[in-house]
Structure 1
Amino acid sequence: MNTLLPTTIVGSLPKPIWLSEPEKLWSPWKLHDEELRDGKLDAQSLAAHEQSRAGLDIISDGEQTRQHFVTTFIEHLDGVDFDRRETVRIRDRYDASVPTVVRAVTREKPVFAADAAHLRAATDQPIKWALPGPMTMIDTLYDAHYQSREKLAWEFATILNQEAKDLEAAGVDIIQFDEPAFNVFFDELKDWGVAALERAAEGLSAKTAVHICYGYGIKANTDWKATLGAEWRQYEESFPLLQQSSIDIVSLESHNSRVPVEVIELLRGKTVMLGAIDVASDTIETPEDVATTLRSALPYVDKDKLWTSGNCGMAPLARGVARDKMIALAEGAEILRAELS
């Protein structure tokens, strides 16, 4: 990226009202069959256009063709039975009914490559695509086959690497792996989590990113955050490991969080994608709010290594709120660009 302080979103945007129920996370589709296929791609084109009009530099699909950031990918793999459900504790926070791994997991064909090619054709700007990370994938399943979180994570890492290479071939410039589980399972993070992530990103020419956040603004996450004390220092576990890793970009939650900004120093040398938009609130940040958040990070990251985004996805927000937050993000980065140049 030649632009100073390039702007982008982390993952999801709200879907149009004709595609799924608004302001609801993981809402079911309203369309079916061919209409659904066309509707998803129409929504993706619309999301790309809205990001560009808002002034963002790097365009994402807004996850318009996905219902869920993890399970939509898993649905396309062999070896997972979605009719056999078990209740598991997700990221030590809340119980959920999840599908079961019943035999060896494999990917018969690319999952998102055609959608990515559609996005590539919709814009001349750099594009970014998000995939779930291996540790977050295993935390969203019941494993009745491998009986080992580590073994299953390595299987998923290999599959993710195949998918990432297909995305790269479709024209994706930045491939982001979502690993909120890195803020929870610190022993696994150290033992094999970062290594599995590197396996997923192995051999790519595209830039690679890992997104680690404190989650959507849903009650289970808000309640968990309330238990974390005056300072959230979970990043101190992952950042030193990621600083030594092959991953290019680390995406973190910052604005309106209790993350001490100085933890960014632990990533020195990496590109930092700073969350300058709060996705757990309908309040629209001012451009100066965004500039202030970015400014606070500059002692800890070189200005040419600082990117800016939201704290997490914006799927549960109203479309107008998400649009105005993207505009604030772009305008806030512009304020700081002018100061720095």
Structure 2
Amino acid sequence: MLTNNLGYPRIGSLRQLKKACENYWAGKISQQQLLREGHLIKKANWELQKELGIDKIPSNDFSFYDQVLDMSLMVNAIPERFHEVLLKEGKSELDLYFAMARGYQNDGLDIVALEMTKWFDTNYHYLVPEFRKDQPFKLFSTKVIDEFQEAKYEGIHTKPVLIGPVSYLLLGKEKERGFNRIDLISNLLPVYLEILKKLEEAGADWIQLDEPSLVMDLKNDEIEAFQVVYSQIRKAFPYLKILVSSYFGSIKHQLDWLSSLPICALHVDLTRGEEQLSDVLAHIPADITLSLGVVDGRNIWINDYSKSLNLLEEAIQQRGEERVWISPSCSLIHVPCDLELETNEESLKSEIKAWMAFAKQKLEELAALKKLVTSRENELFSRNQKLIQARKSSDLVHNSNVKEEAWSLSRGSDTRKNPFSVRKILQQAHLDLPAFPTTTIGSFPQTKEVRAWRLQFKKGLLGKVEYENLLKQEIKETIQWQEEVGLDVLVHGEYERNDMVEYFGEKLDGFAFTQNGWVQSYGSRCVKPPVIYGDVSRPEAMTVEWTSFAQACTDKLVKGMLTGPVTILQWSFVRDDQPRSSTALQIAIAIRKEVIDLEKAGIKIIQIDEPAIREGLPLRKEEWKGYLDWAIRAFRISSSGVKNQTQIHTHMCYSDFNDIISEIAEMDADVITIECSRSQMELLDAFAAFQYPNDIGPGVYDIHSPRVPSEEEMVDLLEKAISYLPQENVWVNPDCGLKTRQWSETTEALKRMVNAAQQMREKLLVN
């Protein structure tokens, strides 16, 4: 019986990759130094897995930015606008790669980055491939071959990992009408065959092709593409062993045709589809090895060995040990690197820490399960079961008062007093906003000074009063700057916040925190998700003091800024001992209390961000209704305790809303702000077709790129917006918060944005 890992975190246990990439972009280190840092991370990962006894160690799971972008470069799916980057003197393949990810504004070029969206139902963002009709492909980057050779040089024989060809196409987007991207499979497949040939010649015996789209609802032509692709691969490489890996759900609905796929091994996610095992065993031929994902690659709780062993033993009885591999459910990029780095008892109690496992510990769990298959009479097993039972009965986890409050929530708590048509009239009289009102999404750049103050405060080197006075001065200056620029609705900048979820988690009971629990969100952007270990409640107000201070600094409107219940849930590591809907309801009640307190403090506009609503949608349509019912209700509970005159905003980003637009409307936010600039306002199709009744702020510039769009570009986007939407419903704002940007970019971009809004007002008057 073998242990099989699908992928390991690539950021480094102390975020070495983030720091190296950002230093390279800033011109502080050379490309050679960046490549060296990447090599050291890969080498450490390979050696760790070998040391822990992992039999199938992946390569090409490392990336300098994103694995889908890697694949686009590999098969030369490089949009024409980026070709000029390579023509500039001294520019390399890596510079082209980063230009595709981040955009490029230098050397007389101004190039918009690829679109970015969520990787299935995770908080990881990938770069969306762009496809055109009859698009040719060819081998451009040899990264996967190079990294296999790199590991081989270090004395480690790896299993190269590639995104499977069908899923790669399905992850992309048609950039012109009149064709279906899946039809490009005949153009793409020869490049994959060339890659596999080079890997076989280099000595690879097993290849992992990730096909996560298998868990989704596939159309007939997509199923046919799978059948053609894997038949052609087997025909071309009769001795190369292909592992097809699915994850994030069950593949039970695909088994009728999957059973005839000519592959050597199939990976299934049993943490999100335990019930599929008996069907998989019944349908998948006995000569196909099964990689069983019994260790959760998406969450940080320890594995219940008893439960996993029952699943493994069921498979072994039918297949034999030689046809069963023990695996995580998916790549471990979704969890932090190493729990051993957590040494702060104040933020993470030892009792809670004992219930957790990060990437390294999950590999140890694979090794432990391999030992325990032969006998459960082992200290490893008994210790594990004691911890499982201790968590179930712990007073840290359960709070009867919180459960009772959620249970007794009154009817009507999820409904505003009047419909939007009534509220809009009252709010316009109350707020007196111009046409095309301008605002930002909430955060402003967190400078080195602000981060240094926070660190000094945490270390006790800066007193509370001194720290808060420094932040208040920063807020004052930010308010003054927004007034000077001419923004209509201001924000306080969120300088007191480390992260939009972590900040609230620190103020709520039922949350724990890590020092080094970083996971990659996109590129060099890493987040440190809170851990929801128990029942959630709000002991005191969380934002009222800071927002009230900001409002006292100006006669203009200042928005209260909150993170919504579903996003707090989605972007945390969530307890798995009760339904997610129950935890979301507890968080919603806590946010509702904060909203009511902000209104009492005189705040007239309150934003409750929910960028993760779409992200949490189940991957199969038949499961959507159950999720949307509780997710939308949670938002409405959080937002519906205020008067008609109080304007509720929400923010959502990097989502396709077409298929859930009616549910978005049911959220009943007065204003929704969304990401639109990378898609050139295409996302507004759904809102226009649905005749969305409430106000919308389609983002007019991409804050995830350092490029600053021109005023004309923003006007053009706004003109596109009003071709979709009634102009009286349109707000003007960036795509997202400005926390990660530099002040130099932010200042110029917002000035241009305000000018663009003014131009639209003047055109409105002329017309």
**TM-score tier (shorter):** 0.7 to 0.9
Q: Name whichever structure is richer in strand by fraction.
A: 1
- Structure 1 residue 129, shift from structure 2 partner: 2.0
1:43 aligns with 2:478: no
Q: Residues 318 and 312 from structure 1, CA distance in 2 versus in 1: closer, same or farther, beyond 3 angstroms?
A: same
Match of 1:125 in 2: 556
Superposed structure 1 runs of 4+ greater than 4 Å apart: 83-91, 94-97
Higher helix share: 2
Say which structure, 1 or 2, has more relative contact order (CA 8 Å, 6+ apart): 1
Deviates more, 1:143-152 or 1:57-66: 143-152
2:668 is matched by which residue type in structure 1?
S
CA distance in 2, matches of 1:9, 1:90: 22
Residues 11/146 of structure 1: CA separation in 2 closer, same or farther (3 Å cut): farther
Q: Give the distance between the partners of 2:455 and 2:604, measured in 1 at CA.
A: 29
Q: Which moved more, 1:81-90 or 1:170-179?
A: 81-90
Taking a change above 3 Å as real, the CA distance of residues 46 and 325 of structure 1, as seen in their structure-2 partners, is: same
- Structure 2 residue 704 is matched with structure 1 residue 264: no
SS, match of residue 298 in structure 1: helix
Match of 2:640 in 1: 202
Deviations 1:61-105 (A, max 9, x none): 1212211111101101112122599788979xx996533333321
Q: 2:508 aligns with which of 50, 68, 77?
A: 77
8 Å CA contact 2:501–2:563 kept in 1: the answer is yes
What's the CA shift string for 1:256-286, capped at 9, x where partnerless?
Answer: 3365132231352210112112102222222
CA contact (8 A) 1:168 1:204 kept: yes
Higher mean alpha-carbon deviation, 110-119 vs 133-142, is at 133-142
Structure 1 residues 101-250: aligned runs within 5 Å? 101-144=532-575, 147-186=578-617, 187=624, 190-205=628-643, 206-214=646-654, 234-250=656-672
Please report the TM-score for the alignment, with normalisation by the length of structure 1. 0.85
Equivalent pair of 1:116/1:170 in contact (CA under 8 Å): no
The answer to whether the 8 Å contact 1:100/1:142 transfers is yes
Q: Percent identity?
A: 23
RMSD: 2.5
Aligned letter for 1:195?
R
Structure 1 position 302 matched with structure 2 position 726 = yes
Equivalent pairs, count: 316
Secondary structure (helix, strand or coil) at the match of 1:101 reads strand
Cα 1:279/1:83, change in 2 over 3 Å = closer
More displaced, 239-248 or 164-173?
239-248
The residue type equivalent to 1:248 in the other structure is D
1:254: how far off? 1.1
The 3-state SS of whatever aligns with 1:73 is helix
Residues 86, 318 of structure 1: alpha-carbon distance in 2 compared, 3 angstrom cutoff:
closer
- CA drift of 1:111 comes to 0.6
Structure 1 residue identity aligned to 2:708: I
The SS at the match of 1:175 is: strand
* 1:161 and 1:201 in contact (8 A); partners too: yes
CA contact (8 A) 1:288 1:335 kept: no
Distance (whole Å) between structure 1 residues aligned to residue 528 and residue 598 of structure 2: 30
Write the deviation string for residues 262-316 of structure 1: whole angstroms up to 9, x where unpaired. 2231352210112112102222222222111111011222111111100001111
- Identify the residue that residue 225 of structure 1 maps to in structure 2: none
Matches within 5 A, 1:47-58: 47-58=478-489
2:514/2:528 contact within 8 Å kept = no
| Compared CA separation, residues 267 and 106, structure 1 to 2 (3 A) | farther
One-letter amino acid of the structure 2 residue matched with residue 235 of structure 1: F
SS at match of 1:63: coil
Residue 35 of structure 1 and its aligned partner are, at CA, apart by 2.1
Q: Separation in 1 of the partners of 2:445 and 2:729?
A: 29
Residue 211 of structure 1 aligns with an amino acid whose one-letter code is: H
Whether the 8 Å CA contact 1:88–1:141 is kept in 2: the answer is no
Letter in 1 for 2:485: A
**Separation (CA, whole Å) in 1 of partners of 2:444 and 2:659:** 29
Q: Aligned pair in 2 of structure 1 residues 87, 57: CA closer, same or farther (>3 Å)?
A: closer
Over residues 221-262 of structure 1, what are the superposed CA-to-partner deviations in whole Å (9 max), with x where a residue is unaligned? xxxxxxxxxxxx711134321223432111111113365132
Is the contact between residue 254 and residue 276 of structure 1 (CA under 8 Å) also seen in structure 2? Answer: yes
What is the letter of the counterpart of residue 549 of structure 2? H
Q: Which runs of 5+ in 2 are unaligned?
A: 1-431, 618-623
**Partner in structure 2 of residue 274 of structure 1:** 698
Report the Cα distance in structure 1 between the residues aligned to 2:674 and 2:713, rounded to whole angstroms.
17
Q: What secondary structure sits across from 1:69 in the alignment?
A: coil
Q: Does 1:325 align with 2:749?
A: yes
Q: Structure 1 residues 145 and 241 mapped into 2: Cα distance closer, same or farther (>3 Å)?
A: closer
Indicate how the Cα distance of structure 1 residues 141 and 85 shifts in structure 2: closer, same or farther if over 3 A, else same: farther
* Deviation string, structure 1 residues 191-247 (Cα, Å, up to 9, x no partner): 321111111001212211110012xxxxxxxxxxxxxxxxxx711134321223432
Distance 2:537 2:500 in 1: 19
Taking a change above 3 Å as real, the CA distance of residues 199 and 327 of structure 1, as seen in their structure-2 partners, is: same
After alignment, is 263-272 or 58-67 more displaced? 263-272
Instruction: Give the letter for the 1:192 counterpart.
Output: W
Structure 1 residues 29 and 292 mapped into 2: Cα distance closer, same or farther (>3 Å)? farther
2:715 corresponding residue in structure 1: 291
For residue 587 of structure 2, give the secondary structure of its aligned residue in structure 1.
helix
Q: Report what 1:338 is aligned to.
A: 762
- Matched to 2:573, the amino acid is Y
Letter in 2 for 1:295: E
Structure 1 gap ranges (5+): 22-26, 215-232
Residue deviations 1:102-134, cap 9 Å, x none?
A: 332111110111111101101111111221111
Q: Distance in 1 between matches of 2:694 and 2:574?
A: 34
- Structure of larger gyration radius: 2
What SS class does the counterpart of residue 334 from structure 1 fall into?
helix
What is the aligned partner in structure 2 of residue 229 from structure 1?
Answer: none
Aligned position for 1:221: none
Is the alpha carbon distance of 1:104 and 1:84 closer, same or farther for their aligned partners in structure 2, counting shifts above 3 Å? farther
